[in-house]
Structure 1
Amino acid sequence: MAGTGKGQRPMVADRRYGVPKSTRKPASAPPPPRKPRKAAKRQGGLISRFFGFLWRLTFGIFWRVMAVTGLIFAGVVFFFYAQLPPVTDLLDGRARGSVTLLDRNDRVFAWRGETFGGQITADNVSPHLLNAVVATEDKRFYQHFGVSPRGIASAIRINLSEGRGPLEGNGGSTITQQVAKLLCLGVVYDQSKWKSEADYEEDCRSGGVYRKLKELPFAVAMEVKYSKEEILTIYFNRAYLGAGARGFEAAAQRYFGISANEVNPAQAAMLAGLLKAPSRYAPTNDLQRAQDRANIIIGLMEEQGYLTKDEADAARARPAQLSQAAQTKSGGFFADWVMETAPSFLTSETMEDVVIRTTLDTSLQKKAEEGLAWVFDNKLKEGSNAQAAIVVMSADGAVRAMVGGRKIEAAGSFNRATQALRQTGSSFKPFVYAAALDQGWSPMDFVEDTPLTIDIPGSGPWTPKNYDGEFKGLITLTQALAESRNIPAVRVSEAVGRENVRQIAADFGIASDMAAGPALALGASESTLIEMTGAYAGILNGGSSVSPYGIRILEVPGNEELNMFTETGIGERVISEEAAQQLVYMMAQVVNDGTGTRAQLDGRPAAGKTGTTTAGRDAWFIGFTADYVAGVWMGYDDNTPLKGVTGGGLPAEIWHEVMMRVHDGLPVTELPMLVPAPRQPPVPDPVPQTPEGFFQSLDEALGGLVNGGGQTKQERRQERKRQKQFRKDQR
């Protein structure tokens, strides 16, 4: 029977067969030790599985990060792509307009502001220029997609090797990236944010990691939006190329006087060389440096197969030369003056492209510069810092030439012809005699050149002196002006009235404040050279006022309502024509026999007046022929006295050299002057028979020459002492 099995051992089958000895294991025997080879294998598997895990983890993170980065980059690219406008909207990137100045023959002689020469495309630009740009700036331009990793890596290596940061200095930018910078990565110029357009562009060109990271997707977006030819077209039109030229068309016209589709290999290489540093390599600054840079570009073009060896050698043998307009810096001071006289909203602040047709004669301008240079090279000691200014104009006030200082290239700085207020000295005296002649006096009337003392209320007695310290007695007005005698000028001024003299000078164009006292007659007032020259032009044209002008026509293409015209600078009559012609006669004697003989023009009639101020701080000569009026001022900017220089010296010689060149080839024309009839000096009244009375009457008739002008012996001694000191001061 079966039991419950509690407390009993379980039933086990009998082992009828024995177990092989080889498989038997003692109950107490330990397990055999693992072999070392199998343990190392297991350990290596763990390491490989660990590194495999790290690789899978890293790769997983990497491709996910790259995928996210790629999506972000694509999103940024799409963002920029959506904002990019049509190519035609990007070609003229200037925030302001430009001013082109033409001479009297309508030839360009100067530019102001940034000039845009007009749209030019990659299709119609000279192939040499296109090849030069690609060879210089981005030889793999047609292979990459806006960014060149090889170029960036090379730039980083160069920067690190030269001790700079990886993104400092060389940027490895492609042409597309450069265009992105020119577009300021889509940031539009805002006057409220930047002080000037220059600050805006400097900010656009700044480097840094953030800007570089923004630049890359912008460049790719451009490659997606535009074709390679369109990107080059933007580049050709927006790149700044020095001397105010924006774009290759403007630069080609500025430097060579031709279109960018006509340039030869040498010219193309010079233009492409400007991209690295426009101001440094501008040929108007240093032609040799620009040519040396162009030779490097020619080498690159030859190396990359754009030029054959023969073509490259020919380009190097015949380097690019500047056009005539670009070669000379003539007219710079004149251009500055024109820009100052025209409304600012059409010049320095213009939003339009303005064309100004001026009165400048570039041939006369060059002659004026040459005449001044000749005198300074041959008459002054080396190292002299003396300055000079010249104005040449027609009788109606049209300015034909202007030199604002000895350094012609300093245009844009201080213009001594228009900005320097200096005492006029004896060059003011013609206005004194103009007042007298207009009141009916004759050039042959007599005036006393005798000692004179005038009591000035509040200042006391004032005694004018002649330059030579001598007295001539009774002389004509003509002689008094020719010899530039001071006392007769004061006597005439006092006789006709200071206010009349002041009014006539002002009506002739002297706008500066004039002295109130009797020293007015001696040029104690200040004026500018252009004012004085314009006033003398009024004498030449028959006695009418003259306003010097430099603008004939100011044009704003497409907006005729803003156009301005000037036909003449002649204004209202100041003195009678007869008085003007008599004054011309008197001033002619200054050149023929007076203080201005060094200004004589070898058979050509001329008239003028010298001027020298106290202690010789200013020296003037202003005069005219029947064709032109010219004024010359000479002095130091810091008012240092000129040593041994008077208006009849170096200024008269400069005037002579300039006017001889100006009149070269012109027929001789007589001056419009009226020669007065000669007059006899006044006959003294019958003298008493007593010796005392005889000498007293004779002394009165001769203006005090016999008895010293009624002075005592002590007064005469003091007078001679003052004259001696005066002559010493003049030396």
Structure 2
Amino acid sequence: MCVFGLFAGAVLIAEPAYAVASFKEVKQQFATSDAILFDRHGAVIDQLRVDLKERKLPWVNLEDISPALRNALIASEDKHFFQHSGIDWSAVSAAAWGNFWNTKTRGASTITMQLAGLLEDDLKRRSGGRSLSQKISQAYIAQRLEQGWRKDQILEAYLNLVPFRGELIGVHALSRVIFNKHPSGLDQVEAAIAVALIRAPNATALKVSERACRILKEQQRPEFCANLEGQTVLAFSHLSAKATPLSESNPSGSTVHLAPHFARKLLNTENRAVTSTIDGKLQAFAKDSLVRQLSALVDRNVEDGAIIVLDNASGDILAWVGSSGNLSDAAQVDGVSALRQAGSTLKPFLYELALEKRLITAASLLDDTPVNISTSGGLYVPQNYDKHFKGLISVRTALASSLNIPAVRILVGVSDDVFFQRLQNLGFQLRETGGYYGYSLALGSADVSLLNLSNAYRSLANAGRYSPPRFRLNDAVPKSLSVMDSGASYIVNDVLSDRAARSVTFGLENALSTRMWSAVKTGTSKDMRDNWCIGFSDRYTVGVWVGNASGAPMWDVSGVTGAAPVWQEIMHYLDTRDRLSQKLSKHVLPPNVVASKIHYRDGAEPGRTELFLKGTEQTEIFSAQSDQILPTIVYPKAGMVVALDPDIPFPRQRMRLNAVGVQAKTFLVLDGHVVPALITKRSNNISDLKYEWFPWPGRHALSLLNYQGELLDQVRFEVRGAVEKKGQP
């Protein structure tokens, strides 16, 4: 009894060495081992294990814990829980008396005292047990907890923080892993096994079942002891299973992995519960649509795909399908973020830029015939996808039908560096430079991600305004920045929605047609390694990529047959869900766009009503306009460095200066001197200029001037290397 008195006195005079947290603070600081991804409506759509040391699932309120478990806990650990104020003095007295006579007692630690040990790191039980000073501090904190907390809060916190077996912390993890159910569903036998594990978490199944049986007998239910060891062994066999987060929106506890790639992007130890912008139902539909389409293409060597859906106004990512799942040998690769060759999907941005600079109109005629373009790396000889040439064709038809050669001709006029910078402003984050890609940039030689590509199309949908996409629902909507001309964007969108204009390549019936207004573009990379379908309605932008993560080519799969059916199915799903076709307002022309009836004088295309930027409108179109977009120096290239060979006689070394698309009285001027260029006519008033120049070491400037002295184009280049040898002229 002397020991009892000393302990009681020490508790009464103990100094407040610990600051006791409130129940609210403890609950707020509780962190699960799984990070959970919610959709925009609060439903669980994915989970990610971020803490590999402990297994803790979301905090469970006391009313959601089985009464059988609460009763078993109190019966086993603290019979006078609702009567004492943190310390059960009768239990302390019994323990002291038992120690004096060296007899075994149940122990004096109350649930509140055990909770104190769980809340304070330096009071947690070690292998050697707690020292006397630690026990005194534990008892003191228990009294403080009883003064500041309600009994139900103490019980709730204890059940969420107490360790059970192995890595399992809290009743939620225990119930989910061992019994495969929510804590609210534990029966009396399961509750007895759970409480038995608190006292001996690493004991054998036999020891745990014996203790559970004693708990059941204390509750006057000895009949449940039959086959208790077998039930305990079965429960322990579930320890290898993965626990699943539960919430009000996921009460069954079934595993949810709707957006694993998106979850990896957002979830970590710092962000364990994120409400994303994803729409769970749309995500599930998009995922199923992709799997159905790829299953139908399995005999064409296609196994991977990706989908993204964006809200045009906010930039919210509504669906992010990173792979085809079980169909893929590389399901962990995120196809939305992966860099793949863009193919023809960059053409709309090139045409918009040329329209914006007033180098072309949608009615302008382009020359779709074979072309060889001199570059610093040699001749560039682009081909059309179908290996055929259409001759004179309008900008509208060339873009809608995705012809390659007209696009390259446009890039010659725009310049690869200017187009490259526009793509960067649209968020493409290209790794190289415009000069690195050269004219092939018009045909999508750059590697882009589905995310950046689709978001750039969203800028077209938003009248040329760019803003980054939004991942989290609680983040502010990003501010937008005007990157493209609103009128030029409108004209490009009208072209991409023109079913008749795209029929030259795709025909009238294909997966690009929708029952609501939509603008769409496909793309296929070299050797059919990637195909794309990106398009938008007034409200949504949908991007689809189909290919192989390995880079292996597909067999006879284009954007129309591979990605487009998925795109169309998702667009129709959104239309059915939101009744887009009934809500669409009539499109109103922007202030800087006018409509004009046009006639092709040489009959290149039928007459029609065409859209023009104000000030560029025409009524009669001549074929001569097709030869070039604007006067341009095509060789040498800006920044080119030419090396002379000292072993070749100097008079035999030549460098061709070449300009195209010039009209009468246009001159090439080298370093301030007009050169006597050879004129080659293309049509009645359009010509090319060529001059064979003896290159001379140094930095040079080549200019193209008209008869009024206006500068039409200019390049600077350098000649390095040999100087004339002794005895040579």
Extract unaligned runs of 5+ from structure 2: 82-86, 96-106, 193-214, 224-244, 590-594, 605-621, 626-680, 685-729
Q: Residue in 2 aligned with 1:324?
A: 249
Q: Residue in 2 aligned with 1:416?
A: 334
Q: Residue in 2 aligned with 1:476?
A: 394
Letter in 2 for 1:660: H
Q: Residue in 1 aligned with 2:347?
A: 429
Say whether the 8 Å CA contact 1:429–1:522 is kept in structure 2.
Answer: yes
Q: How does 1:73-152 map to 2 (within 5 A)?
A: 82-86=16-20, 88=22, 92=26, 125-126=62-63, 129-135=66-72, 139-142=76-79
Q: Residue in 2 aligned with 1:628?
A: 540
Q: Which of 571, 574, 594 is 2:484 aligned to?
A: 574
Tell me whether 1:182 sits opposite 2:118 in the alignment: yes
Q: Residue in 2 aligned with 1:460?
A: 378
The change in CA–CA distance for 1:635 and 1:675 in structure 2 (over 3 A counts) is farther
Using CA pairs under 8 Å that are at least 6 residues apart, name the structure with larger relative contact order, 1 or 2: 1
Tell me whether 1:290 sits opposite 2:215 in the alignment: no
| 1:273-294: CA deviation from partner (whole Å, max 9, x where unpaired) | 98578557548xx9x9336994
Q: How does 1:199-214 map to 2 (within 5 A)?
A: 208-210=127-129
Q: How does 1:583-622 map to 2 (within 5 A)?
A: 583-589=493-499, 594-595=505-506, 598-622=510-534
Whole-Å separation in 2 of the counterparts to 1:655 and 1:627: 15
Partner SS, residue 479 of structure 1:
helix
Whole-Å separation in 2 of the counterparts to 1:172 and 1:656: 70
The change in CA–CA distance for 1:295 and 1:456 in structure 2 (over 3 A counts) is same
Q: Shift of residue 490 of structure 1?
A: 1.0
Q: Residue in 2 aligned with 1:450?
A: 369
Q: Residue in 2 aligned with 1:527?
A: 448
Q: Residue in 1 aligned with 2:424?
A: 506
Whole-Å separation in 1 of the counterparts to 2:419 and 2:142: 75
Q: Residue in 1 aligned with 2:413?
A: 495
| 1:626-671: CA deviation from partner (whole Å, max 9, x where unpaired) | 2311111233334333344332222112212222212214141378
Whole-Å separation in 1 of the counterparts to 2:262 and 2:137: 45
Q: Shift of residue 447 of structure 1?
A: 1.9
Partner SS, residue 388 of structure 1:
strand
Whole-Å separation in 2 of the counterparts to 1:382 and 1:521: 28
Say whether the 8 Å CA contact 2:72–2:191 is kept in structure 1.
Answer: yes
Extract unaligned runs of 5+ from structure 1: 1-65, 153-170, 188-203, 248-272, 310-319, 341-346, 555-564, 686-698, 703-731
Q: Residue in 2 aligned with 1:648?
A: 560
Q: How does 1:357-436 map to 2 (within 5 A)?
A: 359-380=277-298, 385-395=303-313, 397-407=315-325, 416=334, 419-436=337-354
Say whether the 8 Å CA contact 1:131–1:306 is kept in structure 2.
Answer: no
The change in CA–CA distance for 1:373 and 1:569 in structure 2 (over 3 A counts) is farther
Q: Shift of residue 532 of structure 1?
A: 1.2
Say whether the 8 Å CA contact 1:402–1:417 is kept in structure 2.
Answer: no
Partner SS, residue 447 of structure 1:
strand
Partner SS, residue 92 of structure 1:
helix
Query: Which protein is richer in helix relative to its size?
Result: 1
| 1:470-516: CA deviation from partner (whole Å, max 9, x where unpaired) | 33332222333333232221111112322332233233332333542
Whole-Å separation in 2 of the counterparts to 1:385 and 1:280: 39
Whole-Å separation in 1 of the counterparts to 2:506 and 2:344: 11
Q: Shift of residue 521 of structure 1?
A: 0.7
The change in CA–CA distance for 1:278 and 1:367 in structure 2 (over 3 A counts) is same
Q: Shift of residue 623 of structure 1?
A: 0.6
| 1:367-400: CA deviation from partner (whole Å, max 9, x where unpaired) | 3233223324444369975242323322553333
Whole-Å separation in 2 of the counterparts to 1:422 and 1:178: 57
The change in CA–CA distance for 1:451 and 1:233 in structure 2 (over 3 A counts) is same
The count of residues paired between Structure 1 and Structure 2 equals 515
The change in CA–CA distance for 1:108 and 1:678 in structure 2 (over 3 A counts) is farther
The change in CA–CA distance for 1:77 and 1:578 in structure 2 (over 3 A counts) is same
Partner SS, residue 563 of structure 2:
helix
Tell me whether 1:233 sits opposite 2:153 in the alignment: yes
Say whether the 8 Å CA contact 1:90–1:234 is kept in structure 2.
Answer: no
Letter in 1 for 2:337: Q
Whole-Å separation in 2 of the counterparts to 1:444 and 1:647: 26
Say whether the 8 Å CA contact 1:137–1:174 is kept in structure 2.
Answer: no
Q: Which stretch shifts more, 519-528 or 644-653?
A: 644-653
Say whether the 8 Å CA contact 2:72–2:219 is kept in structure 1.
Answer: no
Whole-Å separation in 1 of the counterparts to 2:460 and 2:428: 13
Letter in 2 for 1:662: L
Q: Shift of residue 443 of structure 1?
A: 2.5
Query: Which protein is richer in strand relative to its size?
Result: 2
Letter in 2 for 1:389: I
Q: Residue in 2 aligned with 1:540?
A: 461
Whole-Å separation in 2 of the counterparts to 1:662 and 1:482: 24
Larger radius of gyration: 1
Whole-Å separation in 2 of the counterparts to 1:216 and 1:278: 28
Q: Residue in 2 aligned with 1:313?
A: none
Letter in 1 for 2:180: R
Q: Shift of residue 437 of structure 1?
A: 2.0
Letter in 1 for 2:417: E
Q: Residue in 1 aligned with 2:709?
A: none
Whole-Å separation in 2 of the counterparts to 1:439 and 1:527: 25
The change in CA–CA distance for 1:628 and 1:119 in structure 2 (over 3 A counts) is closer
Partner SS, residue 334 of structure 2:
coil
Instruction: Give the aligned CA root-mean-square deviation in angstroms.
Output: 5.4
Tell me whether 1:639 sits opposite 2:557 in the alignment: no
Whole-Å separation in 1 of the counterparts to 2:445 and 2:565: 24
| 1:233-259: CA deviation from partner (whole Å, max 9, x where unpaired) | 345236558xxxx99xxxxxxxxxxxx
Q: Which of 566, 569, 576 is 1:657 aligned to?
A: 569
Whole-Å separation in 1 of the counterparts to 2:186 and 2:42: 34
Identity of matched residues, % = 23
Q: Shift of residue 431 of structure 1?
A: 1.1
The change in CA–CA distance for 1:581 and 1:102 in structure 2 (over 3 A counts) is farther
Whole-Å separation in 2 of the counterparts to 1:375 and 1:174: 61
| 1:663-688: CA deviation from partner (whole Å, max 9, x where unpaired) | 21414137848798463435589xxx
Say whether the 8 Å CA contact 1:630–1:655 is kept in structure 2.
Answer: yes
Partner SS, residue 324 of structure 1:
coil
Q: Which stretch shifts more, 431-440 or 467-476?
A: 467-476
After TM superposition, the score normalised by the length of structure 1 is 0.56
Whole-Å separation in 1 of the counterparts to 2:596 and 2:518: 14
Letter in 1 for 2:72: A
